[in-house]
Amino acid sequence: MDAVPDQDFTRRLSAVAADAETALDHLLGSATLPGEVVRPERLMSAMRHAVLGGGKRLRPFLVVESAALFGAIGQGPLLAGCALECLHCYSLVHDDLPSMDNDDLRRGRPTVHKAFDEATAILVGDALLTLAFDILARDEVHADAGVRVELVRELARSAGIGGMVGGQLLDLAAEGRFDKKRALSESEIVTLQAMKTGALLRFACRAGGILGKADASSRAAIDRYGAIVGQAFQIADDLLDVESDTATLGKAAGKDAAAGKGTLVTALGIDGARAKLDALVTEAETVLEPFGVKADILRATARFIAQRRT
């Protein structure tokens, strides 16, 4: 039997998700902070639409549980997780824009540019991106300013040129947006995905090591774990795009095939992609061995990510 049964894992994920929801609701309140002039009502309402009331909150969960592995618990890791969730939500809002993926549905609701308008959606993304770094710089995240600076730098690198934004550009290039469409090799797909979606999930795990001031070998292990779950997440997402439907996903299904997009499912086939997922879960378990039972929840998380249905 699994060390952490599925229902315990689900309960823990729901508890962190509920804590994150409360914290995000507070962070997106109407009261101005020192240094702010006014929080415009339309911007706040569109930001709240983008962030609240949806989402699995997997990234805050990974920050909280990775930090707990190294003894960092409480409000600090939760806030760091919320900073990452704000940045993740910005990426979804911008990804849905007409000039990017042009999606009408996200988390089962109209996308921000549909519920509001395109200019507002661009500004929502900008404001969520900057809010993420505002949050990470706050004293409540960690008493040690050096830790906060490291979090800021690591998140910037994961989200920026050589991370998520760079990955998004490579993805658009592969679709033929700037030049001729070109089929990607398997290793090019792996690189693109490690940047576009993997980098933020990997940061979530690294953040735990930073918050808990873990030693170098533990940091290397949690970093590798983060890279593995990042890859597993994307393969599961590509499988869902092929095998699930729009109602279940709360976003458009079948888009990769329609766009002729290269994924590991197209490169390896459905069975090959499933076998790769299994191998990644096994590798995640191996990487976590040095931490013993303390890492059971992270083992269950790797399984959940590989088997997820939404």
| Footprint of ligand GRG (CB under 6 A) | 55-56, 58, 91-92, 94-95, 100, 107, 164-165, 168, 196-197, 237
- Of 119 and 143, which has the nearer Cβ to ligand GRG? 119
Burial label, 258 (beta-carbon count in 10 A; 0-12, 13-18, 19+): exposed
Which C-beta is closer to ligand GRG: that of 100 or that of 242? Answer: 100
**Which is closer to ligand GRG, CB of 135 or CB of 214?**
135
CA 138, 140, 146, 147 torsion: positive or negative?
negative
- Please give the Cα distance from 192 to 75 (Å, whole number): 33
CA atoms 27, 28, 31, 32: torsion sign: positive
Residue 38 CB, shortest distance to ligand GRG, in Å, is 27
The residue number with the shortest CB distance to ligand GRG is 55
DSSP character for 138? S
If the CB atoms of residues 43 and 105 are measured against ligand GRG, the closer one turns out to be: 105
Of 32 and 248, the one with the shorter C-beta distance to ligand GRG is 248
Residue 105 is given by DSSP the state E
Find the shortest distance in angstroms from Cβ 200 to ligand GRG: 7
Task: Using the minimum distance from each CB to ligand GRG, give the nearer residue, 221 or 236.
Answer: 236
Q: In DSSP terms, which residues pair with 109 in a beta bridge?
A: 106
* Minimum CB distance to ligand GRG, residue 204 (Å): 11
CA dist 264 and 187 (Å) reads: 10
- Kindly tell me which of 156 and 165 has the beta carbon lying closer to ligand GRG: 165
How far is Cα 242 from Cα 235, in angstroms, rounded to an integer?
A: 11
**Shortest Å, Cβ 188 to ligand GRG:** 17
Beta carbon of residue 91, minimum distance to ligand GRG (angstroms, whole number): 4
Shortest separation between residue 107's beta carbon and ligand GRG, angstroms: 5
Tokens of 115: 């519920």
CB of 294 to ligand GRG, least distance (A): 25
Is the Cβ of residue 149 or residue 252 nearer to ligand GRG in the bound state?
252
Nearest distance in Å: CB 225, ligand GRG: 17
Among 174, 161, 188, 151, smallest CA distance to 256 is for 174
Phi and psi angles of residue 27, each rounded to the nearest 5 degrees, phi first: -65, -30
Q: For 257-302, give the DSSP string.
A: HHTT---HHHHHHHHHHHHHHHHHHHHHHHHTGGGGGGGHHHHHHH
d(CA 149, CA 140): 13
